[in-house]
Structure 1
Amino acid sequence: MSTRSFTRIASRLSIPRSQSRTTIPFVRTYVTPTSTKSGAAALAQQPQHHDEVDAMPAPVRTAAQWADFGRDHVSHGLGRLRDHVVVKGEGLDLYTAEGKKLLDFTAGIGVTNLGHCHPTVSQAAAAQINTLVHLQCSIAFHAPYLQLIERLLPIMPHPSLDQFFFWNSGSEANEAAIKVARKATGRQNIIVFQGAYHGRTMGSGAMTRSKPIYTQGSGPLMPGVFASAYPYWHSLGVNPSTSEEELVRLAKHQLDLVLRQQTNPSDVAAIFIEPVQGEGGYVPCPPAFMHHLREVCDKHGIVLVVDEVQTGFFRTGKYFAIDHISPSFRPDIMVFAKGVANGFPISGIVSNKELMGALDVGSMGGTYAGNAVACAAGIAAQDVYASGEIETNVEARSEQLYVTLNRLATSPKTRHLIADVRGVGLMAAVEFRSAADDLTHEGLPEGTTIPKNIGKRVQDYCLDKDLLVLTTSCFDTIRFIPALVVSEEQMSRAMKIVTEAVEKVALEG
């Protein structure tokens, strides 16, 4: 797709055309590092509430002072890539208080699928704010809640998925899925997979098996959770070149052992799985293994829960990742969040009437669950997805992305650094080799020296060039998760920086 063609698409989708602007937008009271304005003078540049100007002058801080303030007062348990203070987002561009313009290939970890502040979504939210901001969902229906369900019903991956519950975050939605599965089956145990990420709360955290940092020192967590091997060469202790058929065979065997040795199937309420593991390293699950899970669950009366928190809403090129499996594939519960409302906090579960009907009235709820403004944003986001242009752009830009990543994996200059390139759509990853991990040494000539901390060094170079990228997994992996409206020029610019970064690490050793 040419840049000119994408500009026409962007116009129809209301994608901000100013993504390529080099000017820095006006920053209100965030001010630049050289500002010496008084609080009252800075406040005068903002929309005025004249009766409050003299009584409530706004404090003015430089960018460095804001960063110091954050380090002092934001929980030590919250990490950051850098101490930038971001004051504006537009499309794939982020602007900082010190005047930097960053190309964002993180999309808020897969949340702003339509780019920062997409006009269609933001305008819908603004309109809703002037109509109804909040109605607690246990008091009455509100229109945006029902209208969002109306918009989601036709795009569900299976017609049996027709009852919804909205919450705020992916973790909470997975907690809701646990409750439904346990109540409907009368069983307690849960099976998850090595590398899984389902959240950081006490229930969802117990099901997370990607890194111990998310729950270390905070146990005991929810009991009754068992982990089996995901069909991924690291989980199974085999080489990266192992065939998909063999990975599925080995993973099926490991699941069978869990059901023979660790928990009787009659005690298992649910099996939770991500169709593409997120924090586990952006590892797609082979369709054959997903079909096997469906058979196991049907045989033993187990609820199959598919976690599409990160993979949903065209992240993988289709509405949901399980749409790649087959039109007939049926989860019992599907969990979604992130891209549903392009940055407004809403998540949900969807199931069938039989499972949802097992719940006691009043057992589900939450103060902000299904907030009216977030629902309105979700409705508007579905309008943009429905155009079909997002799906087309994901196909074109993902092809552009994988050409670069595969070129790095085969180049004589850089192939000794890369163990694996994988992903689906605009959910892609490069796993680097590690001197301490023999599985990643496959294909290396004897005596090859593997540099240390490849992924972190590549990420740091990208950050120095104002490109935001994220690592993932307990293995040395960088993921690429830009907004789905990324242009050809932006992808080209990002891939140039990534190529330079990998080649620089290869040269330095």
Structure 2
Amino acid sequence: MQTLTEIKLPEIRTELPGPKAKEYLEKDSRLISPSYTRSYPLIAKRGFGAMIEDVDGNVFLDFNAGVAVAALGHAHPEIAEVIHRQALEFTHISGTDYYYPHQTDLAEKLIDITPGDFEKRVHYGNSGAEAMEAALKAAIYSTGRDKFIAFRGAFHGRTFGTLSLTASRASQRRGFGPQALDVTHVPFANPIRFPLERRQGETVGSRVARYIEETIFRTTVPPEDCAAIIVEPVQGEGGYVVPSPDFLLELRRICDEHGIILIVDEVQSGMGRTGKMWAIDHFGVEPDIICMAKAIGGGLPLGVTLTREELMRWHVGAHASTFGGNPVAIVAAMKTIEILEGGLIDHCAAAGEYMLDLLMESRKKHDCIVDVRGLGL
């Protein structure tokens, strides 16, 4: 049998979907929740790097990467090795009951590589939505406030708390009202498609800030009642939108002036994807809370909420997760960070710049291309 590294892509051996895939698709239609948004009828059998083989032996290039989870590709041998080694020791000891060094080892590393030279704490969950739920609870608990500001086009999860923040597709909210949290959505600082009129010389970022201060604070959300502003440094599901350079600096200023917590969602944009470890690093801003997931677990479920130390001074039992910070996921995360720091982040920046240059040239030749945007890959 050929290995995936020996196959020249694409390798299409059957009609698509193939006969075995059709059998699984029929079972799936009867047995699995229809709420999943499948983009293609691919029934995966195995993967290696950027390739996926389906159950009928067809091989594809994977441009999805498990929705930004498989940042280092499928079945990375070094990650597989540490997962196997840890599984032989123990696969689970709940961090809610006992201690194990894996959790503190990863916490020390994350505290070291995240922006801000101040004391920090870490809470472990299993997903991006869980990471954001912990951030919202920490914001309410530490401020005593219960209102939030988020952005149109945002995606932060589909649990009840995070769904209140998410504003990218109506289908994600349909049938699930009323929303659990008091959230006001404002325009994101999209340099290409921006709905607010600007004064002469006014940047998109400063216009959003003026809208928050002159409209939202005066009509909808008293600043003294606002617990947090939640933002993706680069919007993901909202269109992979890179905001104007001053946008996050303006949000930081507003939060500092009113005692509001700045929560940055790096679930999709973090872990080197933009050419820096965190997308927020491009903008010179130190957030109060960072939410991480997806690529951090090396393919395994892991969510992390990292906060300023004073924002996580809650009482014992206030928040916890049975599986959060699972030792197998943590060793995969440690290895993922090690590999990224070995030169892949710089490579991501260079490759992204190269691709943007080519796309910019293509835009000059084709009027149908309205915009080319992105950071890294």
Percent of aligned pairs with the same amino acid: 33
1:19 deviation in Å? 4.2
Compute the displacement of 1:118 (Å): 0.9
Match of 1:374 in 2: 329
Residue in structure 2 matching 1:220, options 163, 175, 178: 178
Q: Give 2:53's aligned residue.
A: 95
| Residue 23 to residue 196, structure 1, CA distance change in 2 (3 Å) | closer
The question of whether the paired residues in 2 share the 8 Å contact of 1:194 and 1:229 is answered with: yes
Q: Deviations over 1:234-287 (max 9, x none)?
A: 342579xx9995312321222121111101001100000110011111111233
Aligned match of 1:335: 291
**Would the aligned equivalents of 1:230 and 1:236 in 2 still touch at CA under 8 Å?**
no
Q: 2:270 aligns with which of 291, 312, 316?
A: 312
The change in CA–CA distance for 1:97 and 1:24 in structure 2 (over 3 A counts) is farther
Q: How far 1:218 sits from its partner (Å)?
A: 1.1
Give 1:418's aligned residue: 369
Kindly indicate whether the alpha-carbon contact (under 8 Å) linking 2:164 and 2:180 is maintained by their aligned counterparts in 1.
Answer: yes
Question: Secondary structure at the residue paired with 2:45?
Answer: strand
Instruction: Kindly report structure 1 stretches of 4+ aligned residues shifted beyond 6 Å.
Output: none
Whichever of the two has the greater Rg, that structure is 1
**21 and 310 in structure 1: CA distance in 2 versus 1, 3 angstrom threshold:** same
Instruction: State whether residues 274 and 307 of structure 1, in contact with CA within 8 Å, keep that contact through their aligned partners in structure 2.
Output: yes
> In 1, distance between residues paired with 2:219 and 2:145?
18
Distance of aligned partners of 1:399 and 1:185 in 2 relative to their CA distance in 1, 3 Å threshold: same
Distance 1:23 1:214 in 2: 35
SS at match of 1:248: helix
Match of 1:385 among 340, 348, 351: 340
Whether 2:210 is the aligned partner of 1:253: answer yes
One-letter amino acid matched to 1:356: M
Counterpart in the other structure of 1:21: 7
After superposition, the Cα gap between the structure-2 partners of 1:192 and 1:23, relative to the gap in structure 1 and judged at 3 Å, is closer
Using the size of structure 2 for normalisation, the TM-score is 0.92
Q: Distance in 2 between matches of 1:24 and 1:295?
A: 50
1:315-347 Cα shifts (integer Å, max 9, x gaps): 100010111122xx3211111111112211001
Cα distance per residue 1:91-134 (max 9 Å; x no partner): 00011112211111111111111111111111111111111111
The change in CA–CA distance for 1:96 and 1:250 in structure 2 (over 3 A counts) is same
Contact 1:24–1:95 (CA under 8 A) maintained in structure 2: no
Amino acid at match of 1:285: P
Give the distance between the partners of 1:116 and 1:198, measured in 2 at CA. 25
- TM-aligned CA deviation for residue 162 of structure 1: 2.0
Aligned pairs for 1:67-466 within 5 A = 67-160=25-118, 162-232=120-190, 233-236=192-195, 246-256=203-213, 257-326=215-284, 329-357=285-313, 359-387=314-342, 389-411=343-365, 414-415=366-367, 417-426=368-377
- Residue identity opposite 2:170 in structure 1: P
Please report how far the alpha carbon of residue 18 of structure 1 lies from its aligned counterpart in structure 2 after TM superposition.
5.6
Please report how far the alpha carbon of residue 139 of structure 1 lies from its aligned counterpart in structure 2 after TM superposition. 0.4
CA distance in 2, matches of 1:105, 1:315: 14
Shift of 1:138: 0.9
Structure-2 change in CA distance of 1:23 and 1:421 (3 Å):
closer
- Displacement of 1:425 in angstroms is 0.7
8 Å CA contact 1:161, 1:350 repeated in 2: no
Gaps of 5+ in 2: 12-16
**Secondary structure of the corresponding residue to residue 246 of structure 2:** helix
TM-score by length of 1: 0.69
For 1:283, what is the secondary structure of its paired residue? coil
Q: How many residues align?
A: 368
Secondary structure of 1:94 counterpart: strand
What amino acid is the match of 2:204?
L
- For 1:161 and 1:338, the matched residues in 2 are separated by 25
